[in-house]
């Protein structure tokens, strides 16, 4: 190891059981961080600082004002810029001795296996169930470990899925714990809120698990699920088991939801090209809305027959999550209807006032 590297990493190299050999393992490692948000930002910062040799960042979103309280890589001057571009530029400056690889893509069933083949493991910094299931299944099929993290309000979760056991079996994965989740019933951070420091704590825990796995130090959270309460700082570990009991043979089928941007909708509304449907709760609509019909998502099933419209339909909610789910349901009932989900929801609308 060259003298500058010895100086840079001296504190971790001097750790018992770590040494130059552990640092070399980090230098040779290739880690993909999916999602440059509340979890991905702190995780990527510490992985870059620790000297992970190749660090890929996958994200397709842009920086918004509402991100800044928890996505600590970004500043107000970067609002509107692509997250992955900003993140990789800053992380490269933080550690010029590693390779940063930007992937400005939305991770889907069409590209996930190609992405994974270039990396040894994946860190899940996403905030929606569809992508979490997709990453999980892809990692199982590709034989790669997945470091999982999730946050909501004051609660966080961390686990390591699909780690190789000594006997050749694999540790439990996401589907062993969360067999099936109704995504429409669980708000994301934009809708349900999150304390910003929790994102930092969970993201750092994820980075810690990655470093432990790469350097063969400590005991990974494989076969376990760590639960953290940010209000009390109490944590507990639930033991899941040593071996996965789930068989995964193919990637999940995901339905792409057509979206429309705030700018496109504002332009079209002036010409009356669209009808609007608000699927938020009544109390949310009372605070602010942009018009149109109002049917909360949990009542949509019984109201579907009444939604016949000759015009194109735009569905909106707080962040775009519930409206995306609504679009899927409406398309099944009215397959010929031209329908879109408002990208970013009311959050994006208000930010672009």
Report pTM.
Answer: 0.85
Instruction: State the pLDDT at residue 301.
Output: 82
Catalytically active residues, by annotation: 189, 317
Go through 291-311 and write b for each residue having 16 or more CB atoms within 10 A of its CB, e for each that does not: ebebbbbeebeeebeebeeee
Residues of the chain with confidence (pLDDT) below 70: 1, 181-192, 308-310
What CA–CA distances, in Å, run from 296 to 18, 238, 266, 268, 323?
Answer: 54, 35, 23, 24, 10
Q: pLDDT tens across 218-238, in order?
A: 999 999 999 999 999 999 999
The SS3 assignment for 212 reads helix
Domains and CATH numbers, the chain: 3-239 (3.40.50.720), 259-351 (3.40.250.10)
| CA 274 from centroid of its chain's CA atoms | 31
Q: Which residues contact 5 (CB under 8 A, 6 or more apart)?
A: 23, 51, 97
Go through 23-59 and write b for each residue having 16 or more CB atoms within 10 A of its CB, e for each that does not: bbbbbebbbbbbbbbbbbbbbbbbbbbbbbbbbbbbb
Instruction: State the pLDDT at residue 244.
Output: 96
Instruction: State the pLDDT at residue 190.
Output: 58
| CA 23 from centroid of its chain's CA atoms | 28
């Amino acid at each position: 190891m060259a003298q500058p590297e010895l100086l840079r990493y001296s504190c971790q190299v001097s750790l018992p059981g770590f040494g130059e050999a552990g640092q070399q393992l980090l230098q040779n490692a290739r880690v993909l961080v999916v999602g440059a948000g509340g979890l991905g930002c702190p995780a990527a910062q510490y992985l870059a600082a620790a000297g992970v040799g190749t660090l890929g960042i996958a994200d397709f979103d842009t920086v918004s004002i509402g991100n800044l309280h928890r996505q600590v890589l970004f500043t107000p001057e970067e609002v509107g810029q692509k997250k992955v571009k900003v993140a990789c530029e800053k992380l490269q400056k933080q550690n010029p001795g590693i390779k940063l690889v930007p992937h400005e893509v939305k991770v889907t069933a069409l590209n996930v296996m190609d992405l994974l083949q270039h990396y040894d493991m994946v860190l899940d910094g996403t905030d929606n169930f569809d992508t979490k299931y997709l990453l999980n299944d892809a990692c199982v099929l590709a034989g790669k470990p997945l470091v999982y993290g999730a946050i909501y309000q004051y609660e966080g979760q961390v686990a390591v899925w699909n780690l190789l056991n000594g006997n050749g079996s694999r540790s439990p994965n996401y589907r062993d714990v969360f067999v099936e989740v109704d995504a429409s019933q669980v708000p994301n951070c934009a809708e349900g809120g999150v304390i910003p420091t929790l994102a930092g704590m969970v993201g750092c825990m994820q980075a810690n698990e990655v470093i432990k796995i790469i350097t063969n130090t400590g005991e990974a959270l494989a076969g376990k699920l760590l639960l953290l309460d940010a209000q009390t700082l109490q944590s507990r570990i639930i033991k899941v088991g040593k071996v996965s009991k789930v068989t995964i043979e193919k990637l999940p089928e995901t339905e792409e939801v057509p979206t429309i941007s705030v700018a496109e909708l504002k332009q079209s509304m002036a010409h009356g090209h669209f009808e609007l449907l608000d699927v938020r709760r009544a109390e949310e609509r009372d605070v602010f809305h942009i018009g149109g019909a109002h049917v909360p998502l949990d009542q949509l099933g019984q109201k579907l027959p009444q939604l016949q419209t000759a015009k194109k339909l735009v569905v909106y909610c707080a962040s775009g999550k519930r409206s995306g789910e609504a679009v899927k349901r409406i398309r099944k009932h009215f397959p010929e209807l031209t329908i879109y989900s408002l990208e970013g929801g009311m959050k994006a609308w208000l930010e672009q006032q």
